Amino acid sequence: MRKRQINTLINRTLALSLTFTAVAGLTGCGTASVKVGQASSVEAASAKEDESFGNTEYDGVKSYLEYAGIEAQPDAADARVIKIAYGYAGYPISYTTKNGDVSGYDIEVLKAVDALLPGYRFEFVPSQGGDDLLLGVQTGKFNGAVRNWFQTAERREIFSFPEKNLGLSVTGLTVRTEDLEKIHDFASLSDAGGLVVPVDPGDGHYTVLKNWCDAHPDKAWEFETGTLASKTDAYAWVAEGRYDAYFGLEVSFNSIVKAGDGPAHQYADALTWTPCAAIPTYVIFSLEDKDVADAFDTVIDQIWESGYTNYLQETLYGADYISQYGRDGLGVFE
């Protein structure tokens, strides 16, 4: 992959926007920042993809109380309201349905935690996601946020993390099927000199890629950052040769590319998704709300042990990654 001189990387890092600077430590690694979201050849299909995030078929996810056959503990009279921001179009992690309901893997786990903590009442606040969530917690607008977050040393300096994770994220590369033998993980992607579709600095995928680059300086490369207007565009760009890989969830690939009615189904034969990381995910809280993170730790094991997290992954992701990789995952596959 094309290497850059250190001074070039530093200059481009300094050129990042003020929002990125506000969450310093999350957007380092010398990336080239680009604005993504120009009109594409699949614009009409992209609209269909956006609608799928609010698909009412996912309104029927069982609550933890229903799944476990238990009743919620009533909130205490002095229960503290905890505002938790989430990405409203982040299916299957978090989303708002067409009926206005809040759901998703992270959301349903937090609803379960809320049901077991009478001293707190969680209120979910929709947001676009990414840096908006992180900055909102940093500035006190929100008490916490969820978006498939991974822990990093930099983030632990800025936010309060529970000791225990709420989920497991299995992520991978979508590449052209004809390139699968030469590009199937980060090392082979680097060796092939391939380009990755821009990665959102507020997304957990950025952290995975950055950490891998930091751990493998001999193979590290400069990758573009930016917020995609549509995942459909990302798959089209790979299939059409603009980029060589897209780093994302299998469920997105399945629903957008593999599904017969997916907005990028025309690329089903041309593209293949291959896993490259299984990493525990967390809810983040502000430094002032460490008590909420500590309270989370007192009840989350009960939820894991009930099998509810497995049920949610099977229902929302279409695969029980927890059974495959364990609660703590396997990290980045080498």
**309-319 pLDDT, tens per residue?**
999 999 999 89
Backbone φ and ψ for 308, nearest 5 degrees, come out as -65, -35
The CA-atom distances, in angstroms, between 184 and each of 188, 219, 278, 321 are 6, 15, 15, 19
* Least reliable range by pLDDT among 39-48, 117-126, 202-211, 286-295: 39-48
Backbone angles phi, psi at 96, to 5 degrees: -110, 125
pLDDT in tens, 153-182: 888 999 999 999 999 999 999 999 999 999
Which token pair is 327? Answer: 């609660």
- pLDDT for 59 equals 57
Mean pLDDT of the chain: 83
Average pLDDT over residues 262-288: 96
CATH classification for the domain delimited by 56-150+282-317, as one of 3.30.565.10, 3.30.70.2860, 3.30.460.20, 3.40.190.10: 3.40.190.10
- pLDDT tens digits, residue range 135-146? 999 999 999 999
CATH superfamily of 6-52+169-277: Periplasmic binding protein-like II (3.40.190.10)
Confidence of residue 27 (pLDDT cuts 50, 70, 90): very low
CA distance readout (Å), 130 to 38, 50, 120, 189, 229: 19, 17, 25, 25, 13
Residue 196 has pLDDT above 80, yes or no: yes
What is the pLDDT averaged over residues 19-43? 36
What does the domain layout of the chain look like in residue ranges?
6-52+169-277, 56-150+282-317
Count of CA atoms in the C-beta half-sphere (13 A) of 121: 8
Q: Characterize the bridge pairing of strands 331-332 and 89-90.
A: unpaired
- Residue percentage of the chain with pLDDT more than 90: 63
Q: How far apart are CA 30 and CA 11, in angstroms?
A: 8
Q: Using the predicted structure, report yes or no on whether residue 42 has a pLDDT greater than 70.
A: no
Q: Model confidence over 107-136: pLDDT tens digits?
A: 999 999 999 999 999 999 998 877 788 899
Q: Under a CB-based contact definition with an 8 Å cutoff, are residues 105 and 316 in contact?
A: yes
| 89 burial via Cβ count (<10 Å: 0-12, 13-18, 19+) | middle
Q: Does 6-52+169-277 match 56-150+282-317 in CATH topology? A: yes
Integer Cα distance of 300 and 183 in angstroms: 38
Q: pLDDT at position 33, please?
A: 40
Mention every residue, 6+ apart, whose C-beta is less than 8 A from residue 66.
none
The angle at the Cα of 329, spanning 91 to 72, to the nearest 5 degrees, equals: 60
Query: 81 φ, ψ to 5°?
Result: -80, 125
- Label residue 259 exposed, middle or buried (CB < 10 Å: 0-12, 13-18, 19+): middle
